[in-house]
A and B are shown apart, each in its own frame.
Chain A
Amino acid sequence: KNEVEQSPQNLTAQEGEFITINCSYSVGISALHWLQQHPGGGIVSLFMLSSGKKKHGRLIATINIQEKHSSLHITASHPRDSAVYICAVMKSSGDKLTFGTGTRLAVRP
């Protein structure tokens, strides 16, 4: 069983919809990252969380350390949000990341 599980694997939404991507992990972590990978391959770090909630524009990320669960929400989704969203955990600071399998999001106009 993977240490980091994401759901759903694939998600198609209509423009404007509210989107939630979930991540569960089974190990102790120092931080959790949400990453965005566009079709060209480049990866952008969206959030780094160790507790609570963070918001950046239309993106919101939450984490529940006790339940070992994190969610990424996209409000008012737009076709430009179409990408693969990856959850990754770090067991200790400076350590390698352990990745989830990613969620492929397609937002239709």
Chain B
Amino acid sequence: GAVVSQHPSWVICKSGTSVKIECRSLDFQATTMFWYRQFPKQSLMLMATSNEGSKATYEQGVEKDKFLINHASLTLSTLTVTSAHPEDSSFYICSAPGQGASYTFGSGTRLTVV
């Protein structure tokens, strides 16, 4: 079946540095990738939608300059958290729609900013 590979699975970074998270569709072409954030014991919240070859669409309240999304190819979408702060510590997960109404999720990235 469809697989989305997400890396890294966890990362610890210092305040002020940037972190890049990658999501690759391994056996299908993902023209769209959804990026979610999840705080402890809360539901997934959509941050942005990336579309191959065009600018990402951000949800209200999500800073475009802080969460840079790139979808340069049909198999790779990246999320870069720039100038990370402790409040950016969260679980980030990507998801791509597949055939019909199916969905495939990445394995998630746990980001800790110290």
A binding-site residues for B, Cβ under 8 Å: 30-31, 33, 35, 40-45, 48, 50, 86, 90, 93-97, 99-102, 104
Size of B's binding interface in residues, CB under 8 A: 22
Q: Is the CB of B101 within 8 A of A45?
A: no
Query: For chain B residues 58-114, which have a beta carbon within 8 Å of chain A?
Result: 91, 93, 95, 97, 100-105, 107-108, 110
Q: How many A-B residue pairs have CB under 8 A?
A: 54
B44: chain A residues within 8 A (beta carbon): 86, 99
Do A48 and B93 form a contact, CB below 8 Å, given A94-B32, A96-B46?
A: no
Considering the chains assembled together, what is the distance between the CA atoms of A60 and B44 in angstroms?
Answer: 24
Nearest B residue (CB) for A50: B101
Do A94 and B97 form a contact, CB below 8 Å, given A43-B105, A45-B104?
A: yes
Q: Is the CB of B49 within 8 A of A96?
A: yes
B28: chain A residues within 8 A (beta carbon): none
Whether B43 sits at the interface, judged by CB under 8 Å, is yes
Nearest B residue (CB) for A92: B101
B42: chain A residues within 8 A (beta carbon): 101
Q: Is the CB of B95 within 8 A of A86?
A: no
Contact of A102 among B43, B97, B108 (CB under 8 A): B43
Q: Which of B42, B44, B104, B110 has the most CB of A within 10 A?
A: B44
Considering the chains assembled together, what is the distance between the CA atoms of A43 and B108 in angstroms?
Answer: 8
A45: chain B residues within 8 A (beta carbon): 102-105
Q: Is the CB of B34 within 8 A of A96?
A: yes
12 contacts between A and B (CB under 8 A): A41-B107, A41-B108, A42-B105, A43-B93, A43-B105, A48-B101, A86-B43, A93-B100, A97-B34, A99-B44, A100-B43, A104-B41
A102: chain B residues within 8 A (beta carbon): 43
Interchain nearest-CB distance for B8 vs A (Å): 13
Q: Is the CB of A30 within 8 A of B34?
A: no
Interchain nearest-CB distance for A56 vs B (Å): 13
